Copies of this chain bind each other. A is one copy, B any other.
Amino acid sequence: MSERSRWKRLAKCLHAARLPALLITHLPDVRYLCGFTGSSAALVLLAGTSQVRARLFTDGRYRDQARAEVRGATVRIVKGNTLHAAAEWLAAGSVPVCGIDASHTSLATQSQLTKALRTAKSKCRLRALISPVTSLRQIKSEAEQQTLARAAALGCDLYNDLLTFIEPGLREIDIAAELECRARKAGADGMSFETIVAAGPRSSMPHARASAAPIRPGELLTLDFGIMLDGYCSDMTRTVQVGQGGTLGRQRHQREVFEAVLVAQQAAVEIVRDGVSAETVDAAARKTLKQAGMAKWFTHSTGHGLGLEIHEGPRIAAKQDEPLRAGMVITIEPGVYLPGQFGVRIEDTVRVTETGCEILTPAYKGWLEL
């Protein structure tokens, strides 16, 4: 979907909802529609009968940047509150009703806007919609898919290179620091979320923060990280065994859980294609873990969409009966977490296609002893 067709699709949504206007303040949505990357913005769309007119309100800090970045909208630099300026534009256009995004508008913003409209002598009512732009963002354009693929490929390269760095005795934070350093030097804008490096018993916490704990020989290490590239996120997880050690029993147990998670991950990846529901993909991973008697330790959903944000729609989880569509980019990341013992998670980012999916993170994911 090109940028032009983004506006068109949005105009269609507004038309269907009989809404002549929409106010957007969620920054990734603003960026998606008009390219602006600043930290303060109110984007107003007026959907006329023939075309959409859009105006971006931001403050003096972003004067030059807004002019350089914004496409498809006029820019107004505001002294004071951008919401007030937006309200005045709605008032000037005698707009009777304006949509706001229920998921990204706070009660305080709603009340501020209501007051500003009253001050501007507007009779415009506000109507809450569920994520009108965020839902458009689920299906990525060709250009977005390419950027996501580049981000994922850089993530893979970083992971592959890091394997020779990892060894027993290193602390989790050393590994996180090294990875983030290398990412920055390789051209990433930064990380898309706090890097998870968790070894041994700490790997049983799915979202463990990297700690100062040193890795002991034979422990499993879960590495879950993402970079940002041109505004888009990557996301991948691998679990490896670091060195050799521990009882034979534990070694066998680790390997057994690992193989079960790998089978589950592959089963879910295999089933992904245009038209298949998200819950079906989730169920595929859960089913194989159930057969292995491990389903109760798989305590989170199977995946999520990603793009300008690390967590976007669709959710790959139970009760999500919407079909996946070609052009969606999602993660597949089942895991098994044995409290106090260890955990395993394997995650790929994949691009949904008409006939299946393309794995954007093709780094080796089989059993690995470093």
Whether a CB of chain B sits under 8 angstroms from the CB of A181 is: yes
Whether a CB of chain B sits under 8 angstroms from the CB of A62 is: yes
- Which of B184, B207, B340 contacts A61, CB < 8 Å? B207
Complex-state Cα separation, A289 to B7, whole angstroms: 43
When all copies of this chain in the complex are counted, the total is: 2
Dominant secondary structure of chain A at its interface with chain B: mixed
Cβ–Cβ < 8 Å partners of A62 in chain B: 205-207
Complex-state Cα separation, A106 to B109, whole angstroms: 9
- Using a CB–CB cutoff of 8 Å, the interface residues on chain A facing chain B are 37-39, 59-65, 100, 102-108, 110-111, 128, 130, 173, 176-177, 180-181, 184-185, 187, 189-191, 194, 204-209, 299-300, 339-340
Q: A65-B205, A102-B107 are in contact. Are A185 and B190 (CB under 8 A)?
A: no
Please determine whether A339 and B103 come into contact, CB atoms closer than 8 angstroms: no
Q: A177-B184, A207-B62 are in contact. Are A107 and B108 (CB under 8 A)?
A: no
Determine the residue in chain B with the shortest Cβ distance to A26: B106
Q: Closest 7 A-B residue pairs measured CB to CB?
A: A60-B299, A177-B184, A181-B181, A61-B206, A102-B108, A102-B107, A103-B108
Cβ–Cβ < 8 Å partners of A60 in chain B: 206, 299-300
Please determine whether A194 and B205 come into contact, CB atoms closer than 8 angstroms: no
- A181-B185, A189-B194 are known; give 18 further A-B pairs, CB within 8 A: A60-B300, A61-B299, A62-B205, A62-B207, A63-B205, A65-B205, A65-B207, A103-B107, A103-B108, A104-B106, A105-B106, A108-B128, A111-B128, A173-B187, A177-B181, A177-B184, A180-B190, A181-B184
Cβ–Cβ < 8 Å partners of A39 in chain B: 207
Please determine whether A106 and B103 come into contact, CB atoms closer than 8 angstroms: yes
> 13 A-B contacts, Cβ less than 8 Å apart?
A61-B206, A62-B205, A63-B205, A64-B340, A65-B208, A102-B111, A103-B106, A107-B110, A108-B128, A108-B130, A176-B184, A181-B184, A189-B194
Q: A207-B38, A207-B61 are in contact. Are A128 and B102 (CB under 8 A)?
A: no
Cβ–Cβ < 8 Å partners of A130 in chain B: 108
